Structure 1
């Protein structure tokens, strides 16, 4: 009889209704042990089964000893059995990767092991669930989350954060009283509490009335009120304790019961026949669920005696058969824990030995996908180092192949613990290739070289880095380097210093250069090797983003050469990508971009996903650096699709940050904000998420929302920290901080931000970030020129800006445009700017697809024209201000819009009329200021095309087409597309023969 839980069931049913409507749901169910979580889930699942597919998986108590992702494996197996066609369609093409979660799909591919391996698996799992649940509602139940391995916790968190589609409900339960301050589930619960998409239920104990109803259901009779009061008082409303006390009372065993929880839980076990108690002890040590044949081998009873013992344990509600009918488990985990805790130390190790021996003798006793892990656990707890060491190493390989790197780390730490205890003859036959794919090359053959303790440490360090256990990995590298001081091995030491560099950067402990420099010293003069190539490639990449120059160029070239010599293709591609980027920075733009495109093609063809992800970040970034955002944006969209397909979450975050920057430059600010917001939540690491925050800060500043700009600036700084001041991060941060300070009237703070950047200087290749900063600082000085508080120190600032501008390259049209703009602003800061200063700035930006910057410099040129006076100058100023106003309104750039309005009001100008010059010009389109792309768009507008049709014909996005149309309407001074078409006809812009077929001029 199901008692109470009306409100909780209502919440569960409401959540299911939302999921059935197509809105994925996530729900956490917490409560103390025995309070009735499983019973509530069973009641809900039974009812939900009428409308949805319910797939249940449970975590196993043995944690790192068990199969990683165990609850997901079980639940996915049930889901595949229930929806075989839908599951097969959703998994098609990704079976090798998904086999890491569900071995039934086949042999997991060897794949590549890197920091994104787990993320790739998680992304594929999320897409699988979304597709399977596209039509038929699915309820995925994961029980006993307090026992979950780290990989299961990470996957669950990922699903809760990223599921956006499908008729899916993910329900996870956990024991709240087990979640102590240092429990690994505690940080996850805190993180999930911050997600608005996750609902949480805490199951309370029963009231006195509910306890009475529960007892009545157990006894099938109305209980004595006094006995209800007594049981309620002793159980405190815990449903499981109520049941135990009620049954004990019914059996006449209530007298003499102690208040000890263990005694309460063991009382019914101790009432069993001796053979049944023996079987209970065997099952308790075998795991959460134990197969019948395995029990039979370990228990040492005849088949008839074993059946009778199991019957007694099942009849007493101690054990229950599994749904598949192939094994047994304790009806409640609390009883199993009590029985296991009651075992004597020698008894426990003896049972584990018997389990291990039985499994070695007949591997078919358990499922193939769990065999290696179970055997490693049994031998380890049997305290037999000779058997446990190779078994634990085999289990670590299984964990690695499943991308369960945290579990792999735990197993390797066990191997290190067992190392000295294992006999020499056991260690001597172990090989590095048996336990590690990430083997530090040392010029020897890992298939014939004996395994060393340092090899275990190397694999453990990498597992810790890949699994996010960076603090543990740092400690391992520190210990390894101490050992190498006593037994020098330069290549191994260099390899560990490389790992330490990566970990130091990831842990925000520094920029990692000192560690890389030490590795370079160690390999200097040694023959070419994979370690040598990797050290050079990483040093070149570090230098490219920190202090690019001749040394970085030389290191990249040598890295390519060494990688080719030793056949390290991944390292070669990494180094080629770095070298190509350095070529762009040095001014050899087209050669560098061509090489980057070739690296992207090579990595995609060869399946080197990590380098392809980096190429999808770096190639568009270099295109952006020279002002070719129109080429960068489609590449970035393509890259985002690639990154999502392969779980490259950090790469996706960088791509989204860069795409937001391109969209900002192209005048698509609404989409730029959406993309940047997504970037702040998708990254695996902090730095990539900071890129999205910076873009949001930049947008907010341009729109005049200083409070939001300040918040996002603080968020970006928090993500990036101060430990690794890369120019590509620090200079844009300074630019926004300077702008916020100036807008708030804090000129001294703005100057302080600038001076800190100028004191550091602009390394070669940083003109992309340097020019916008110098221009922004020059604008601040020009705006503050008339302020008394800004006069002191102004001359020094202007001199510093001029000096800095002389050091920056101008080899790209965008950089030349910023050079002209900065110099014009510096002249304005002295009150000396003229039309001749601003005309080349406007001309330069008219050849670039950057509507906001063009609108700003048109505003400045208009001000210079109005200062001259004269009718022609006023007419031209009106045209320029009208064009700037249209862009400012379209982008919601309030500061620019206000500045344009104020200037027009001061000059008593009206910004709505069509310039006379445009109607009289020999080339009206040129007089109207239409770019060649705007002429193409206007031709299609005149033909009656929609924005989407225009986008398809011109190979641009609909939003870009919309921006062009808005700009055209402003330049023509008309209010709609029909008027624009009429004016184009009246001005004779498009003869009939140039219009698309079927169009009427």
Structure 2
């Protein structure tokens, strides 16, 4: 409605930035020449001209046939909306390439709807949320690669300093994962906002280590450039004393040059006070009273505010509102959004100045009105942002009774989008609000289980409901990568449970702490698992009981395989069947099948493993699909069927790649390298191990690849390379959680290196240390090679 209102303070002439524009153009040219992705990060202080540079480049890129999609990070309170810029980018791509995009996402609409809701209904939570998040990132990367097959895509993420953690992690993933794709990734951020503890700092440090990413820092304009900018704004060359005054006041900041030039044109430059906030407020204060009121109201709505929502909050007659908005847009304070549904401040600095100028009570009242309007009519905003906006408004309105349920509802939506860091922040707010919320509000909150294994309390006991909240925080912290926080919360919950006679809740938290204990290097986690097993012993079947037994069976298969582990795995299968958890049942069947193979029932165990894997594929249980395609080729290699193992890995790579299970693909490739090595196909084995390392997403995946590369280097006679790779393997495996399948191959490599260097006593010591631990059943595939090379070392030493 207001998009045609004239604005006069932006120069129609693009000033300076020749080097920066050339760098962007060169990146585009390299993509055309090589077909390989490029990436640039553009930093600069607020107002220095980052957005204008992007606008000029986008226009030039479109003229060269590229498809440009922009998305901006949105500031809402202290957190952004999960994946907001990528939602906008995929929306643009969907609008331009609807049929192509539909074909590219076929079969994956549900998963990708977590970022682009218009693709369909978002599925519920998977049993293994870590895999779900990895799949989402990988599917997004593959989608961009498919859409860039016949064209160059320019993907721009603006205002990265406001990005939520999920957005930063997805961007970092794309920077690493895009290969052979005609994609140019560009991101902008405010460098002056990046203080020492800003969450973008570690992201930028990580990006700096990537050779494929170029950083550009925009400097302020010099005096000649300021003169050119004023001339472009005014349409004529300015007086030199005017250039001096504007340059001195603006210090070359492009946005302040515009503000000062406009003030000069309006005859109000004289007498302006020095503080920049006052400079930014001059134009707002010159507006009619109704327009000032609308601008102040819009400032609390967020980075952008929808027209219908603003209308509901302002409560003005429509004609008066349009007149006020026309004045605000005409003064270039507000501008219509690209999609024409609302408004944003032309520059974030103006919004910040307006918000700063509001009284505390005024901010509280405005946020309450936004919350009330949105609660009365959620259709005023897009459905995928409604929960987060409502939670933010009620929180800033300081109404704990309303904010607690709103924050919890927003946390559920964040979890369903795999935005675990944002979910954790929301749950932290819930923890902050808990004591201030009335008891009836706390009792009305119904916990939403994460794993379907945590027992919902089903009663009005405040202490138990608080434990439900701690359970959600523990899982969210673990999934977001904050293992230390998850460990602390689990300890806090277990302390609270000392006062309660609640074995199921206690067992559930013990399983979580066991997993975290292993993940944070505190030990192997058995103490907590053993206690959890004792707590559920003799209790009626339950989902928690099944989870405990599945965890114990999995732990035993890796650390202490044998008859007891076999019995535990059988019990885990039975319990999962009793409580109707098919995914947990299939996961336990994979464990049981592996133990059956190790016990000597090879054909029966392989059949069971293939059957469980087939059911998992039919039902879409991605965690089981991934684990099964790692275990099956490993089991085949363990019984000497290397050629069959290689064939299975080919299918495994296809399936795990299709489902976006990038880290699992790394493990499958590691197994492929081992079997190819056994067949004497060393060159292929080396490529598979290198690819496994490139795709690995965790320390154990890296160590697996390093182990295979150590083995290959030893067989090739490259002792120096073998030593380097063995150091990597030891570093990644660590010593807190020794497992025979890792420890024995590393002992073998170390023994071979010592023998090759003539250190026979060291080789004997390595063997003796390995023998002290004993060889449990199922470890023969790792024990025999160690014993063989030990015998070879002794034989060689005796000639």
The answer to whether the aligner puts 1:545 opposite 2:529 as a matched pair is no
1:778 aligns with 2:791: yes
Deviation at 1:64, TM superposition (A): 6.8
Q: Indicate whether 1:422 and 2:437 are aligned.
A: yes
CA contact (8 A) 2:110 2:120 kept: yes
Residue 326 of structure 1 and its aligned partner are, at CA, apart by 2.0
**Which whole-Å CA distance do the structure 2 matches of 1:86 and 1:440 have between them?**
40
SS in 2 for 1:169: strand
| Deviation readout 1:344-393 (Å, 9 max, x if unpaired) | 22111110110111112222211222222211211111111221122222
2:605 maps to what in 1?
A: 592
Tell me the distance in 2 between the aligned counterparts of 1:263 and 1:744: 75
Using the TM superposition, name which of 159-168 and 63-72 deviates more: 63-72
Q: Which one of the candidate residues 755, 761, 768 is aligned to 1:742? A: 755
Q: Using CA pairs under 8 Å that are at least 6 residues apart, name the structure with larger relative contact order, 1 or 2.
A: 2
Q: Which residue of 1 aligns with 2:467?
A: 454
Give how far 1:446 is off: 9.3
**Structure 2 residue aligned with 1:651:** 664
Measured after TM superposition, the shift of residue 441 of structure 1 is 4.2
Structure 2 distance, partners of 1:270, 1:444, is: 55
- Stretch of structure 1 that moved more, 621-630 or 307-316: 307-316
Match of 1:368 among 364, 383, 395: 383
Alignment of 1:41 with 2:66, yes or no, is: no
CA deviation after TM superposition for structure 1 residue 116, in Å: 0.9
Match in the other structure for 1:75: 89
The answer as to 2:685 corresponding to 1:672 is yes
Q: 1:133 is matched with which residue?
A: 148
Conservation of the 8 A alpha-carbon contact between 2:470 and 2:493? yes
- Cα deviation, residue 418, structure 1: 1.8
Q: CA deviation at 1:461?
A: 1.7
Counterparts of 1:361 and 1:58, CA distance in 2: 28
Distance across 1 between alignment mates of 2:524 and 2:137? 29
After alignment, is 752-761 or 68-77 more displaced? 752-761
Label 1:449 to 1:255 Cα distance change in 2 as closer, same or farther (>3 A): closer
Of the three residues 58, 74, 81, the one matched with 1:60 is 74
Q: Helix, strand or coil for the counterpart of 1:631?
A: helix
Deviation at 1:258, TM superposition (A): 4.4
Other-structure match for 2:587: 574
Structure 2 match to 1:4: 16
Instruction: Check whether the contact 2:43–2:217 (CA below 8 A) recurs between aligned residues.
Output: yes
Q: Please give the per-residue CA displacement for 1:110-165, whole angstroms capped at 9, x wherever unaligned.
A: 25152111111111111111111111221111111111111111111111111113
Deviation at 1:745, TM superposition (A): 3.7
Q: 1:449 to 1:427 in 2, by over 3 A?
A: closer
Counterpart in the other structure of 2:7: none
Q: 2:105 aligns with which of 91, 97, 104?
A: 91
Structure 1 residues 426, 439: CA separation in 2 closer, same or farther (over 3 Å shift)? Answer: farther
Distance in 1 of aligned mates of 2:243 and 2:758: 73
- Alpha-carbon distance in structure 1 between the residues aligned to 2:250 and 2:682: 61
1:354 is matched with which residue: 365, 369, 378? 369
* Partner SS for 1:596: helix
Look up the SS of the partner of 1:222 in the other structure: coil
For 1:171 and 1:399, how far apart are their aligned partners in 2? 25
Q: Which residue of 1 aligns with 2:8?
A: none
What residue number does 1:219 align with?
234
Q: Among 299, 305, 310, which residue is 1:284 paired with?
A: 299
Which residue is 2:736 aligned to?
723
Structure 2 SS opposite 1:742 = helix
Quick one: structure 1 residues 357 and 590, their matched pair in 2 at CA, closer, same or farther if it must change by over 3 Å?
same
Alpha-carbon distance in structure 2 between the residues aligned to 1:756 and 1:227: 82
SS of 1:26's equivalent in the other structure is strand
Preserved contact between residue 742 and residue 750 of structure 1 (Cα < 8 Å): yes
CA distance in 2, matches of 1:743, 1:64: 59
Query: Could you tell me how far apart the structure 2 residues matched to 1:666 and 1:696 are?
Result: 15
In the alignment, which of 620, 639, 655 is matched to residue 642 of structure 1? 655
Equivalent of 1:625 in 616, 619, 638: 638
Match of 2:775 in 1: 762
CA distance in 1, matches of 2:272, 2:456: 68
The structure 1 residue matched to 2:340, chosen from 325, 331, 338, is: 325
Shift of 1:255: 4.1
Structure 2 partner of 1:807: none
Give SS of 1:290's match.
strand
Comparing 33-42 and 261-270, the one that deviates more: 261-270
Residues 313-371 of structure 1, C-alpha deviation per residue, up to 9 Å, x if partnerless? 22222111112222110001111122222222211111011011111222221122222
| Rounded Cα–Cα distance in structure 1 between residues aligned with 2:641 and 2:225 | 70
**Pairing of 1:575-974 with structure 2 (within 5 A):** 575-785=588-798
Report the Cα distance in structure 2 between the residues aligned to 1:323 and 1:479, rounded to whole angstroms: 48
1:439–1:610 Cα change, 3 Å:
closer
Report if aligned partners of 1:654, 1:689 keep a CA contact under 8 Å in 2: no
Partner of 2:190: 175
Give the distance between the partners of 1:135 and 1:446, measured in 2 at CA.
Answer: 58
Cα contact 2:223–2:252 (8 A) shared by 1: yes
SS at match of 1:527: coil
Specify the alignment match of 1:977 in structure 2: none
Q: How does 1:427-438 map to 2 (within 5 A)?
A: 427-432=442-447, 435-438=448-451
- Give 3-state SS (helix, strand or coil) of 2:75's partner: coil
Give the conservation status (yes or no) of the 8 Å contact 1:115–1:465. no
Structure-2-length-normalised TM-score: 0.94
Name the residue aligned to 1:963: none
* Alpha-carbon separation, structure 1, partners of 2:323 and 2:759: 86
Distance 1:338 1:751, change over 3 A: farther
Alpha-carbon contact 2:456-2:468 (below 8 Å) kept: no
Larger mean CA deviation between 68-77 and 246-255 belongs to 246-255
Please point out which of 452, 476, 482 is paired with 2:489: 476
Name the larger-Rg structure: 1
Q: What is the aligned length?
A: 784
CA distance in 1, matches of 2:456, 2:439: 24
CA change 1:317–1:412 in 2 (3 A) is: same
Distance in 1 (CA, whole Å) between partners of 2:462 and 2:489 is 22
Contact 1:429 1:450 survives alignment (8 Å)? no
Aligned residues of 1:66 and 1:373 also touching (Cα < 8 A): no
Whole-angstrom distance in 1 between the partners of 2:768 and 2:354: 70
Post-superposition CA distance 1:482-510 (Å, at most 9, x none): 21112231101110111111122222232
Distance 2:676 2:542 in 1: 43
1:440 Cα offset (Å)? 4.1
For 1:331-346, list aligned pairs within 5 A. Answer: 331-346=346-361
User: Comparing 334-343 with 70-79, which one deviates more in the overlay?
Assistant: 334-343
Q: Which residue pairs with 2:313 in the alignment?
A: 298
User: 5+ residue gaps in structure 2?
Assistant: 1-12
1:286 is paired with a residue whose SS is: coil
Q: Which residue of 2 aligns with 1:261?
A: 276
Is 2:594–2:631's contact at 8 Å kept on the other side of the alignment?
yes
Q: Secondary structure, in 3 states, of the residue corresponding to 2:71? A: strand
Shift of the 784–256 alpha-carbon distance from structure 1 to 2, 3 Å rule, reads farther
SS of 1:140 mapped into structure 2: strand
Q: What SS does the corresponding residue of 1:676 show, helix, strand or coil?
A: helix
Q: Could you tell me whether the CA contact under 8 Å between 1:116 and 1:466 is conserved in 2?
A: no
Q: 1:407: which partner in 2?
A: 422
Q: Aligned partners of 2:792 and 2:649: how far apart in 1?
A: 31
TM-fit CA distance, 1:273: 3.0
1:873 is matched with which residue? none
1:327/1:554 CA distance change after superposition, 3 Å: same
Query: Post-superposition shift, 1:259?
Result: 4.3
Comparing 149-158 and 367-376, the one that deviates more: 367-376
SS at match of 2:436: coil
Mapped partners of 2:493, 2:729: distance in 1:
35
Q: Would you say 1:242 and 2:257 are equivalent positions? A: yes
> Residues 745 and 344 of structure 1: is their aligned pair in 2 closer, same or farther, counting only changes over 3 Å?
farther
Partners of 1:452 and 1:100 in 2: CA distance:
28
Deviation of the 1:451 alpha carbon: 8.0
Distance 1:272 1:20, change over 3 A: same
Kept after mapping to 2: 8 A contact 1:12/1:44 = yes
CA distance in 2, matches of 1:777, 1:553: 31
